[in-house]
Structure 1
Amino acid sequence: MLVMIAGLMALLTVGSAAMAETGGTPQWSLALHGGAGTLDRKDMTAERDAAYRAALQAALDAGSAVLAKGGSALDAVTAVVVRLEEDEKFNAGKGAVFTWERGHELDAAIMDGKNRAAGSVAGVTTVRNPVLLARRVMEASPHVMLAGRGAEQFAKEQGLELVDPAWFDTAPRREALERMTRDKLSALDVDIKFGTVGAVARDAAGNLAAATSTGGMTGKRWSRIGDAPVIGAGTYAENGACAVSATGWGEYFIRVGVARTICARMSMLGESAQAAADAVIGEVAALGGDGGVIVADAKGETAFSMNATGMYRARATSAGLREVAIYADEK
């Protein structure tokens, strides 16, 4: 079965950007993503390409600064995701897609590999930075996941910044919903990319962490929740194994248990981060799903895998590696 899955990966994955590291094991490492999907050079102007690369670099710098000062992997992934939530180019926080009811329902999760503590939130509508709320769930509550009005109440009690739901609005996201309803399109027809954002990191102490945040899919209904806030599907971290953040068609990522399965393959089968990520994305592809993952292993080696034409991504290490990429064929 494992051989068959690996074979499917070779056939079905459009490309996985390994962006292989050079040199020895890094003291700390960081990888991030801003969504995977149909990202073709012919559809990107030079200005738009440059703007996305600059945004990814800014988020990478924010997380790298934490790690370079000896900060924790948990603080680093938080810093990255907050930065991306504040950037309307991505589908998380400001710039989140619209639901069918013309609102926003935001999801996020975070996990500390040191003790496998985790927190997640789903369907929040007024929390400026959902990843900060997910972290408070992890650190200041006895629970792992909160949703809807209860999560909003907890955010208020924790003193997190709340905003009017209109703060998340952007013209491109509204136009996407209008196009969907006017032309009777599916979410996949208007969402050429899954703009979920996420980060994984290994700090100098060897601890791993992962965080993910998303606005979901355009026109989602009935309080739909994807994989991002589901621990083990879109987000997972475990010292000695790996840290994973996913982006893609959430229903498939939940069914495969993508993040936990990647870590299990690495710890139980001895696979590299790249091999495990490729195999599991192959499973997603075989079922008909699209998307990608970022992975960091216990030594800090990082991997990217996708079955799409691109994924906004970047990574850095204490050894001096700095890479930003968009298209699947960028190495």
Structure 2
Amino acid sequence: MPWLMKNLIAAVALALMSTAAHAQEDAPEAPKWSLAIHGGAGTLSRTAMTPEQRAEYEAALQAALDAGAKVLAAGGDAMDAVKAAVIVMEDSPLFNAGKGAVFTWDGTNELDASIMDGRDRSAGAVAGVKTVRNPILLADKVRTDSEHVFLMGAGAEAFALEKGFAVTPPEYFATEARRRALERMKADKLSALDVDHKFGTVGAVALDMEGNLAAATSTGGMTGKRWGRVGDAPVIGAGTYADNRSCAVSATGWGEYFLRVGVAHEICARLRINQSLMVEGLLATLPSTEEYSGMTPEALEAFRAKASETVSSAWSAEAQTIADDVMAEVAQLGGDGGVILVTPQGDAIFSFNTSGMYRGRATSSGVREVAIFGGEEKASATPDH
């Protein structure tokens, strides 16, 4: 067992023993909710961004955050919250998703999206769609109204028509700034990374008051993409993952590397496995009824239940460490970008290996913030446990 885990177990066990007599007296914890959003990560420059541009991005992020938080604060579903937040960003020309998506080499806008429900791990995804205003809604329709998880191109659009989606004309998605980026790329024989200083993929992750998690991601891909290239955003396990047992993750970055690492699933799997090991180790240190004669069988059972709860309380720092470790692995391979993460305990976490990431988070404990560059948010968005 890792040194950190052993020490966490010892500390938690000591705290539990000191409060054993009150195991049945604690009041039930109030339901909590948590939300994190992103609008892309990359090489962002403070000096190159005017105050007006910054204010515009912050307002757009705040609008998306408010849309998702409103759902959660009213007792709504995590799935509805992530869709509400992502739709706001898909409708904004500031982000590389929906309206404002980058152009392919052939001068079209091809959209990818995915969504996942942590309750049952149902998921839906689409890639290469050109006529759907909000691809995240089509991804969710694949999840709920088909036997499939992933549809692409003409097939995805045929499915959209069958399910009643309006056909959105191509000119809706096009913006002059994105067109100039493609022209500059072709004229100067640049790579997509030379013209895209940020990866404008958008995403949201949420925990609702029922304890359910959800994740959603939407993107236009990379400028000048060819040959039907698809990145990580619509791939379940790479750009999006949600599991009530561990976490919900949405990623943004250089998709080829996120695919190779399986970033979203990797983070959730490490959290689930490590937390299970910690709980097992802690419970092994707790007394039996005979060894702790001062406790009734009922009190002992409550004591053991509180042990699991206390492990969750001690888990926030480990969740951040795991996210950072996985992003470091992406960097070691040569990729960059970031992730947003929400845990069942309500932690709202960011991790990125770039100079900035458009991001925001809100929780039932009162956290409300949006940020762009590294180090701008508060030290923690961990809820009171």
TM-score over 0.5 (shorter chain): yes
Equivalence map 1:124-273=2 (5 Å)? 124-270=129-275, 272-273=318-319
Q: Does 1:87 find its partner at 2:89?
A: no
In the other structure, the counterpart of 1:320 is 366
Query: What SS does structure 2 have at the residue aligned with 1:43?
Result: coil
Structure 1 residue 162 displacement after superposition: 1.9
* Runs ≥4 residues deviating over 3 A: none
Change beyond 3 A, Cα 1:25–1:263: farther
TM-score (structure 1 length as normaliser): 0.92
- Matches of 1:246 and 1:95, distance apart in 2: 19
Q: Counterpart of 1:245 in structure 2: which amino acid?
A: S
Percent sequence identity over aligned pairs: 65
Q: Does 1:73 find its partner at 2:119?
A: no
Q: Does 1:104 find its partner at 2:113?
A: no
Structure 1 residue 315 displacement after superposition: 0.4
Q: Counterpart of 1:203 in structure 2: which amino acid?
A: D
- Matches of 2:229 and 2:170, distance apart in 1: 18
Structure 1 residue 297 displacement after superposition: 0.6
In the other structure, the counterpart of 1:293 is 339
- Matches of 2:88 and 2:202, distance apart in 1: 10
Give yes or no for contact 1:26–1:300 (8 Å, CA) kept in 2: no
Larger RCO (CA within 8 A; separation ≥ 6): 1
Unaligned runs of 5+ in 2: 4-28, 276-314, 378-385
- Deviation per CA, 1:33-81, whole angstroms, max 9, x where unpaired? 0000011110100000000000000000000111111110000000001
Query: What SS does structure 2 have at the residue aligned with 1:111?
Result: strand
In the other structure, the counterpart of 2:296 is none
- Deviation per CA, 1:267-306, whole angstroms, max 9, x where unpaired? 1123632111100000000000010000001111011000
- Matches of 2:228 and 2:170, distance apart in 1: 16
- Matches of 1:229 and 1:93, distance apart in 2: 14
- Matches of 2:122 and 2:32, distance apart in 1: 23
- Matches of 1:26 and 1:320, distance apart in 2: 13
In the other structure, the counterpart of 2:53 is 48
Select which of 114, 120, 123 maps to 2:125.
Answer: 120
In the other structure, the counterpart of 1:16 is none
Give yes or no for contact 1:25–1:300 (8 Å, CA) kept in 2: no
Query: What SS does structure 2 have at the residue aligned with 1:97?
Result: coil
Structure 1 residue 161 displacement after superposition: 2.6
- Matches of 1:112 and 1:184, distance apart in 2: 42
In the other structure, the counterpart of 1:304 is 350
- Matches of 1:60 and 1:191, distance apart in 2: 24
Query: What SS does structure 2 have at the residue aligned with 1:42?
Result: coil
- Deviation per CA, 1:105-142, whole angstroms, max 9, x where unpaired? 10000000000000000000111100000000000000
Q: Does 1:31 find its partner at 2:36?
A: yes
Q: Counterpart of 1:228 in structure 2: which amino acid?
A: A
Q: Counterpart of 2:230 in structure 1: which amino acid?
A: I
In the other structure, the counterpart of 1:7 is none
Query: What SS does structure 2 have at the residue aligned with 1:41?
Result: coil
Query: What SS does structure 1 have at the residue aligned with 2:47?
Result: helix
- Matches of 1:201 and 1:252, distance apart in 2: 25
- Count of aligned positions: 310
TM-score (structure 2 length as normaliser): 0.79
Give yes or no for contact 1:112–1:210 (8 Å, CA) kept in 2: yes
Structure 1 residue 220 displacement after superposition: 0.1
- Matches of 2:346 and 2:189, distance apart in 1: 45
Q: Counterpart of 1:188 in structure 2: which amino acid?
A: L
Q: Max radius of gyration: which structure?
A: 2
- Matches of 2:162 and 2:364, distance apart in 1: 38
In the other structure, the counterpart of 2:292 is none
- Matches of 1:68 and 1:217, distance apart in 2: 35
- Matches of 2:238 and 2:167, distance apart in 1: 28
- Matches of 1:267 and 1:91, distance apart in 2: 32
Structure 1 residue 26 displacement after superposition: 7.0
Query: What SS does structure 2 have at the residue aligned with 1:54?
Result: helix
In the other structure, the counterpart of 1:17 is none
Give yes or no for contact 2:31–2:210 (8 Å, CA) kept in 1: no
Change beyond 3 A, Cα 1:177–1:25: farther
- Matches of 1:91 and 1:108, distance apart in 2: 12
Give yes or no for contact 1:34–1:195 (8 Å, CA) kept in 2: yes
- Deviation per CA, 1:230-276, whole angstroms, max 9, x where unpaired? 00000000002000000000000000000000001111123632111
Query: What SS does structure 2 have at the residue aligned with 1:324?
Result: strand
- Matches of 1:57 and 1:319, distance apart in 2: 18
Change beyond 3 A, Cα 1:26–1:327: farther
Superposition CA RMSD, Å: 1.3
Q: Does 1:275 find its partner at 2:280?
A: no
Structure 1 residue 25 displacement after superposition: 8.6
